[in-house]
Amino acid sequence: MIYFDNSATTRPCEEVIKAVNEAMTDDKWGNPGSLHKLGYLSLNAYLKAREECASVLNCSAEELFFTSCGTESANTAITGYVKANPRKGKTVISTKTEHKCTLETLELLRKEGYDIKYVSVGRDGKPDLDELSEMMRSGVSLMCFTHVNNETGAVLPVDSIVELRKECCPDAAIYLDCVQSLGKLPVDLKKTGVDMASFSGHKIHGIKGSGLLYVRTNTRILPLIIGGGQQDGMRSGTQSLPLASSMAAAMTAAEQERDSAVERVREINRFLREELKKRGAVINSPDDALPFVLNVAFRNFQSETMLHCLEMYDIYISTVSACASRSKKVSYVLENMGIDRKVSSNSVRLSFSRYNTMDEAVRFIEAVDEIYKLYEVNVR
């Protein structure tokens, strides 16, 4: 099997499985909220896991909250911030290439009377900074951006944006979706200067159901899930030690292997770009994109057909566009980057992880060649 769909989800790594297993056995299965010894043991392990996450992200443990997924973190950060800070106004800035968990939250806010402004995005997937600074100057409460785009791998110039904020609207907060950058780019929260950030475990060989929300000290937000007041009231519900431990183990393992992984994946990416271009493919990912994501349009193959062809070779990738049999819907991310619809409808996403190898990339190209021989149809 060749799994090139790591931006969708990843296979839990051994470190994670071990951590989860340990968190469910011995004396650690208690409720961290209980006053007796079992609770105390569980709470201790839970706090240790949080500490471990904090050290990877370079923030303080009190600034982190475990959630169920990236989507929950995004929902909480965006809604929670604007609701808790009404005096900062009702303007939110973002781009149209965000993940749906951000776009849908913003759409809901728009219906509630918030003014949502979208900065245009260029062919390189980056927001237009001139336009952004103009928008910032006219007043803004919150800005929502994605560190690494999940469809193209485009990397946000975080430093420039934080710099611009200092100049144009120092009071505005920044929320950063780090789901695709975690474990692949250095995320140093103290240094970055963002106010909120979201993370997900299962994209870095953790398990589904584990997410993390960062809220910088002194940033006020309202919780989305209320109840018993766990996690300082920011996220009620009994804390899950297995999920917290899995998150910590996944983050530590990813961080330890990050440098070597980036190097290997960069090689794979470079090789695939070159070989696919030779075969008439269009590369949609910007040149300076994160190498873990490669968005590419195959000549004469609609996205879904290529996906199923590769599936026959036990190779797994993803279409980012959903095709309706009559009206073709293409990826809104590619559309907003100004990519032609014809190209978009043939586009697929390959996404890599530290476990992928050059050998797999070579076998991938061999499979593509065979697919062209056997299944290419061009009646148009």
Partner 1 sequence: MAVNVILARMGEVTLKGLNRGRFETQLMNNLRYRLRTFGKLAIFQSQSRIWIEAKEEGNPYFEDEERAHELMTAVTQVFGIVSVSLACKFEGDINDIDANAALYVKKHLERNPSHKTFKVECKRGNKSFPMNSPMICEEVGAYILEHFECLSVDVHNPDFILQVEVREFNYVYAGKLMGHRGLPVGTAGKGMLLLSGGIDSPVAGYMMASRGMPIDAVYFHSYPYTSEQAKQKVIDLAKIVSKFSGRMNLYIVDFTKIQLDMVKNSPHDMLTIVMRRVMLQIAQKLALQSDCKCLITGESLGQVASQTLEAIAITNEVADMPILRPLIGMDKEDTIRISRDIGAFDTSILPYEDCCTIFVAKHPKTHPKHADIEEAEKNLDIEAMVKQGAGENLEIIEI
Tokens of 175: 């929320």
Between CA 67 and CA 107 the distance in angstroms is 22
Q: Identify which of residues 212 and 315 has a Cβ nearer to partner 1 in the complex.
A: 315
The position carrying tokens 């297995």 is 242
Q: How far is CA 164 from CA 154, 235, 335, in A?
A: 20, 32, 27
Phi, psi of 5 (to 5 degrees): -130, 40
Q: Identify which of residues 102 and 303 has a Cβ nearer to partner 1 in the complex.
A: 303
Q: Identify which of residues 302 and 344 has a Cβ nearer to partner 1 in the complex.
A: 302
Cβ atoms of 102 and 94 closer than 8 Å: yes
Q: Identify which of residues 241 and 306 has a Cβ nearer to partner 1 in the complex.
A: 306
Closest CA to 275 of 293, 301, 298, 300: 298
Cβ neighbours of residue 302 closer than 8 Å, sequence gap 6 or more:
323, 345, 346
Tokens of 198: 């979201």
Q: Is 323 considered catalytic here?
A: yes
User: Could you tell me the smallest distance in angstroms from the CB atom of residue 4 to partner 1?
Assistant: 17
Q: Identify which of residues 226 and 312 has a Cβ nearer to partner 1 in the complex.
A: 312
> DSSP states of 196-261 as a string?
EEEEESGGGT--TT-EEEEE-TT-----SS-SS-TGGGTS-S---HHHHHHHHHHHHHHHHTHHHH
Q: Identify which of residues 35 and 377 has a Cβ nearer to partner 1 in the complex.
A: 377
Kindly tell me the burial class for residue 311, based on how many C-beta atoms sit within 10 Å of its own C-beta (0-12, 13-18, 19 or more).
exposed
Q: Which of 69, 169, 178, 323 is catalytic?
A: 323
Site residues for partner 1 per CB under 8 A: 302, 304-305, 307-309, 311-312, 322-326, 329, 374-375, 377, 379-380
Cβ neighbours of residue 259 closer than 8 Å, sequence gap 6 or more:
none
User: Could you tell me the smallest distance in angstroms from the CB atom of residue 305 to partner 1?
Assistant: 5
Between CA 205 and CA 247 the distance in angstroms is 9
User: Could you tell me the smallest distance in angstroms from the CB atom of residue 377 to partner 1?
Assistant: 5
User: Could you tell me the smallest distance in angstroms from the CB atom of residue 245 to partner 1?
Assistant: 36
Q: Identify which of residues 77 and 315 has a Cβ nearer to partner 1 in the complex.
A: 315
Between CA 73 and CA 51 the distance in angstroms is 18
The position carrying tokens 């999920």 is 243
User: Could you tell me the smallest distance in angstroms from the CB atom of residue 314 to partner 1?
Assistant: 13
Quick check: helix, strand or coil at residue 159? helix
List residues with catalytic annotation. Answer: 323
